């Protein structure tokens, strides 16, 4: 429905917290990875985006993001549910998902890897550290990592 805004997205950010999402988006922009970002606010929307259903029914089904940065505290369907759904489906299994949580959150590191998360990052609370962490995430997942064609 949102037309071209949702096409050719490199990074899908699933994050319900506005301030948290904004700091991640700003740091990714600073990294100049030349990738389009798209943010969703809840888990259902994240799945709809990847599966081209619901509000994203018009999206090309072969157009997968190179990386999903997935928050866990999402309303409705939470991050673990989204991860389980994506990794349990042969069509979306290979899309890299890095779980990204706030420093203050309860950690679910092992549970995330059990469900097939590709990586897990705790967002550093300081701006400078966040910038460096996001630069490293972008360099690995957007520039070095290869995904199936």
Partner 1 sequence: MNDDVTNFADVEILLAEDNRQDAEMTIRALKKCSILNKLFWAKDGVEALDFIRCTGPYASRDPLQVPKLILLDLKMPRLDGLDVLRALKSDDKTRNIPIVAMTSSNQERDVTESYRLGVNGYVTKPVQFASFMEAVANIGMYWLFVNEAPA
Residue owning tokens 């705790």: 122
Tell me how far apart the alpha carbons of residues 22 and 148 are, in angstroms, rounded to a whole number: 29
Residue nearer to partner 1 on the CB measure, 53 or 139: 139
Report the alpha-carbon distance of residue 94 to residue 54 in Å, rounded.
Answer: 22
Pattern 109-138, binding to partner 1, x per CB under 8 A? xx--xx-x-xxxxx----------x--xx-
Q: The tokens 């071209």 sit on which residue?
A: 4
At its nearest, how many Å lie between partner 1 and the CB of residue 63? 17
* Residue from 64, 80, 96, 142 in contact with partner 1 (CB under 8 A): 96
For residue 49, state whether it binds partner 1 (rule: CB under 8 A). no
Alpha helices in 52-126 (DSSP H): 79-87, 109-114
Backbone phi, then psi, for 11, in 5-degree steps? -125, 120
Q: Which residues bind partner 1 (CB under 8 A)?
A: 93-94, 96, 98, 107, 109-110, 113-114, 116, 118-122, 133, 136-137, 139-141, 143-149
């Amino acid at each position: 429905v949102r037309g071209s805004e949702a096409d050719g997205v490199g990074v899908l950010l699933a994050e319900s917290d506005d301030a948290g999402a904004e700091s991640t988006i700003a740091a990714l922009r600073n990294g100049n990875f030349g990738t389009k970002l798209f943010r969703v606010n809840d888990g259902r929307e994240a799945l709809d985006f990847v599966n081209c259903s619901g509000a994203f029914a018009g999206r090309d089904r072969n157009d997968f993001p190179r990386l999903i940065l997935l928050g866990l505290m999402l309303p409705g369907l939470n991050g673990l549910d989204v991860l389980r759904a994506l990794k349990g489906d042969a069509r979306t299994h290979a899309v890299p998902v890095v779980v990204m949580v706030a420093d203050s959150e309860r950690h679910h590191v092992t549970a995330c890897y059990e469900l097939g998360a590709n990586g897990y990052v705790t967002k550093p609370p300081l701006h400078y550290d966040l910038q460096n962490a996001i630069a490293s995430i972008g360099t690995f997942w957007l520039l070095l990592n290869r995904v199936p064609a």
